[in-house]
Structure 1
Amino acid sequence: MLGTLQSSTIRIAVEASSSTLQRCLTEVELLQQWIWPQQLQGSLPPKLEQGSTFAAQWGPISILHQVEILLPQRLRLVMWGGADGYCDWRWGNGWVQLRVEAVSLLPLGLGQLLMLRQLQQFAQGQERRPS
């Protein structure tokens, strides 16, 4: 893989419960709503499962993902293709953290920040929706 090894961890406050964040990160229908500009491709179950594999398309670049770890407050995805490494999501009541470590030509830190901000806004909107 060409590129440089990039590693960063960002944690942000989110006005949402742990269960809302878990739904936003693991229910495919919700995930597809906030992950723009990425487009998820592949036959995914309604909810991510350990071993689920999918592609996230960023324009002409495809990054393949496989769910390596799926726990009540953690989701770790192995990545290859446009980025070789992993992303590790962790969350709790009022916060979410994303650690990315990968070799890539893409500016992964910028994409990481964009994804966290989009998740923050989306999850807060989900939290305010009547049940």
Structure 2
Amino acid sequence: MFGIYQQSTLRIEIDATVAQLRQGLTQPDQMRQWLWPQQFSDSFKAPIQVGQSFSSYVGPIRIDHTIDECSDHSIRFLLHRGVDGFHEWYWGDGWVQSRLEGVSTLPLNIAQTTSLLRLRLFLTIKNQGTK
């Protein structure tokens, strides 16, 4: 793989429960909303399960994902093509953490930060609609 080895771990507070975070991070329909403009292949569908593979596209760049682990408090994606590495998500009441490691020409830290902020905004708006 051509690129630079990059690693980053970010954790932020989010006004959301474990259940809301789990849905936002493991439900393909919800992920498609907050990860826009990233596009996903049709094989990314519920119910997600370990071993499931799908692709995402950031413009012309394709990133292949395989779900390596999935629990009530975490999910781990193995990444190939546009990023060679992994992306782990952990969550609890009021917080979410993202750990990303890989080789890529893409600026992974910028994408990771943007994703976390978009997830926070998505859940804030969603929670306002339920109050």
Q: Give the TM-score taking structure 2 as reference length.
A: 0.95
Gapped runs of 5+ residues in structure 2? none
Alpha-carbon distance in 1 for matches of 2:90, 2:3:
26
Q: Which amino acid aligns with 2:10?
A: I
Alpha-carbon distance in 1 for matches of 2:93, 2:118:
17
Deviations 1:72-114 (A, max 9, x none): 0000000000000000000010000100000001000000000
Aligned pairs for 1:88-127 (under 5 A) are 88-127=88-127
The farther-off stretch of 93-102 and 47-56 is 47-56
Q: Is the 8 A contact 1:20 1:126 kept in 2?
A: no
Alpha-carbon distance in 1 for matches of 2:128, 2:50:
29
Alpha-carbon distance in 2 for matches of 1:35, 1:10:
17
The farther-off stretch of 119-128 and 94-103 is 119-128
Deviation at 1:123, TM superposition (A): 1.4
Q: Which amino acid aligns with 1:18?
A: V
- Structure 1 vs Structure 2: percent identity of aligned residues? 36
Q: Is the 8 A contact 2:44 2:55 kept in 1?
A: no
Matched, 1:16 2:37: no
Query: Alignment RMSD, CA only?
Result: 1.2
Instruction: Report how many aligned residue pairs link the two structures.
Output: 131
State the partner residue of 1:3.
3
Q: Is the 8 A contact 2:27 2:47 kept in 1?
A: yes
Q: Provide the secondary structure at the position in 2 that maps to 1:2.
A: coil
Gapped runs of 5+ residues in structure 1? none
Deviation at 1:126, TM superposition (A): 2.3
Superposition misfits of 4+ residues, deviation over 6 angstroms: none
State the partner residue of 2:128.
128
